[in-house]
Amino acid sequence: MYTRTASVLGVAALAVFVSGCVGAEKSANPLSPTVAGPIPGVSITAPTPMQPTGTRIPFASQPVTLMVGNAQTTGVRPITYLFEIATDTSFANKVFTRDSVAPSDSGQTSLKLPDPLATGHTYYWRAKAQDGANASDYSNVASFDVFTPIVINAPTLSAPVGGVTTSSVTPRFTINDADKSGPYGSIVYVIEVADTDTFANKVAVWTIPEQPGTTSLDAPGALPANSQLFWRARAADQTTTGAYSSTAVFKTPAIAPPPPSGGSGGGGGGGNFASLDQINLGAAHIVGGGPTDVASWTVSTNIQHIEFSSSAGLAFTFLANSYWPDYTPPGWSGPLQYTVWACYQSGGAWTCGGFIQMWRDRGYTGAPLPSNYIYWWGNQGGVTAGIFGGYVPHAGDTMAFFVTAGNERADTQTNTRERSNVVLVTLPSGDSGSFSY
């Protein structure tokens, strides 16, 4: 009994010994999946983010592909990669994780995401290499944006098109609104009118907010009469400008000048429109070095409309704008057509001066009026300081305006000796308003 028992125990002990030796041999193998904890002497470098890094990716160009430069290991165990994407730099809000990504033999490893990421976000991503027992540090964090691009297509022109002759020199322009997509903002249209299809010489440029379906603008200033003109438009928001429409052509009607008045008269001008003067220009004090006898000139035209714009200044519509001749002052590279005069009242008396020179493609005088009147026109020295240096206009004040043919500022004068009637304007608040006569 004793010997048998001992033999059995010896066999059992031998089995335990042999088993322990096999386990020890197995655990010493660095490729064994049962190795627990880092293997001493093995180090793995962090992978290097290669793309995308700091780029903007259109939503339609997804899914995104991540690429890293491969990590290096001093061990013999094969490595794989862990990729993580989050919406924050601390990776508290992970939106994607993929483990056990096998490396590529090319030295760079790519991972294409299975699905698109949500648009309108900045994403942060990183990677690390690991062999089951050892792991690298995380790579540097890279980022990219996914966005929906703003697309603003070219509008189409509705009227005037096809070479039609408009009913007036201030026609209505109508645009079929542009097709748009993406997170666009408030849309405006820029309308350009030129005397050739190259648009090298623009007659007018206007900007108007988009209206539902179609956008229309009545020309705020008179266009050249009896002329073939070309126009185009494009849409834009605060960040994106669309393409130009195709070019359309139209013609403006001829406007006959009024019959001659028979020469200069006295006091009120002697022309056909002299009776339309709304102040006694003959009693006004003329300052700034301009012609002091302007009240006696032929009143050959009447002012039909004055437009106040807070961003562009004043625009004048009057019949003679289509036929008053151009004049090129000495030293100028281009011609002038007329001069804007302004009058203010102080102590019951009117003071007037010619101070803004206008050419055919200058639709507005420039500068916001009246709130910055002194800044723009009264403190520039020379002519304008002499006219407005002591006058500070305010909304609600009454001023008078008229225009004269040619250049009638103090620095150089012509001899056309024609003017418009004089009209009164109550200065509007907010620098914006329309006045018709």
Question: Domain ranges in the chain?
Answer: 48-147, 151-251, 274-436
pLDDT at 11: 36
- Output 3 or 247, whichever has higher pLDDT: 247
- Long-range CB pairs of 12-19, under 8 A, 24+ apart, other chains included: none
Q: Identify the weakest region by mean pLDDT among 132-146, 162-176, 317-331.
A: 317-331
Residue 61 has pLDDT above 50, yes or no: yes
Banded model confidence at residue 26, pLDDT cuts 50, 70, 90:
very low
CATH no., domain 48-147: 2.60.40.10
Q: Which alpha helices (H) appear in 235-380, and where do they start and end?
A: 373
Name, in order, each residue with C-beta under 8 angstroms of 247's C-beta and a sequence gap of 6 or more: 197, 230, 231, 232
Banded model confidence at residue 268, pLDDT cuts 50, 70, 90:
very low
Banded model confidence at residue 344, pLDDT cuts 50, 70, 90:
confident
Banded model confidence at residue 374, pLDDT cuts 50, 70, 90:
low
Q: What average pLDDT does this structure show over 186-211?
A: 91
Q: What average pLDDT does this structure show over 54-68?
A: 94
Mean per-residue pLDDT over the chain, rounded = 82
DSSP character at residue 282:
G
- Half-sphere exposure (CA, 13 Å, Cβ side) for 327? 21
Q: What average pLDDT does this structure show over 212-219?
A: 93
Contact yes or no for 221/322 (Cβ under 8 A): no
Neighbour tally for 104: CB within 10 Å: 12
Q: Identify the weakest region by mean pLDDT among 137-151, 291-305, 408-422.
A: 408-422
Assess whether the previous peptide bond of 63 is cis (omega < 30° from 0): yes
Neighbour tally for 128: CB within 10 Å: 19
Q: What average pLDDT does this structure show over 210-235?
A: 91
Burial of 156 by CB count in 10 Å (0-12 exposed, 13-18 middle, 19+ buried)?
Answer: middle
pLDDT at 90: 96
Contact yes or no for 179/153 (Cβ under 8 A): yes
Rounded to the nearest 5 percent, the helix, strand and coil shares of the chain are 15, 35, 50
Name, in order, each residue with C-beta under 8 angstroms of 381's C-beta and a sequence gap of 6 or more: none
Q: In whole angstroms, what is the distance from residue 177 CA to residue 323 CA?
A: 35
Q: What average pLDDT does this structure show over 398-427?
A: 84
Which position has the token pair 């305006």? 401
Sheet with 65-69, side-by-side order of all strands? 48-51, 65-69, 108-112
Q: In whole angstroms, what is the distance from residue 126 CA to residue 66 CA?
A: 9
**Which residue, among 336, 314, 340, has the nearest Cα to 401 in the 3D structure?**
340
Q: What average pLDDT does this structure show over 406-413?
A: 74
Q: What angle do CA 346, 348, 349 make, to 5 degrees?
A: 70
Q: In whole angstroms, what is the distance from residue 437 CA to residue 435 CA?
A: 7
Q: In whole angstroms, what is the distance from residue 313 CA to residue 293 CA?
A: 27
pLDDT at 372: 62
pLDDT at 168: 87
Burial of 415 by CB count in 10 Å (0-12 exposed, 13-18 middle, 19+ buried)?
Answer: exposed
Rg (CA), the chain: 41
Q: What average pLDDT does this structure show over 76-90?
A: 96
Neighbour tally for 182: CB within 10 Å: 15
Banded model confidence at residue 258, pLDDT cuts 50, 70, 90:
very low
151-251 and 48-147 share a CATH fold: yes
Residue 270 has pLDDT above 50, yes or no: no
pLDDT tens readout for residues 109-135: 999 999 999 999 999 999 999 999 999
Which overall architecture, per CATH, does domain 151-251 show?
Answer: Sandwich (2.60)
**Which residue, among 279, 272, 301, has the nearest Cα to 416 in the 3D structure?**
301
Q: DSSP per residue over 11-46, as a string?
A: HHHHHHHHHHHHHHHHHT-TT-TT--SPPTT--BPP
Residue 336 has pLDDT above 50, yes or no: yes
Coil/strand/helix, residue 378:
helix
**Checking DSSP bridges between strand 172-176 and strand 156-159, what pairing results, if any?**
antiparallel
Q: In whole angstroms, what is the distance from residue 233 CA to residue 248 CA?
A: 10
pLDDT at 328: 80
Q: What average pLDDT does this structure show over 246-264?
A: 68
- Output 402 or 363, whichever has higher pLDDT: 402
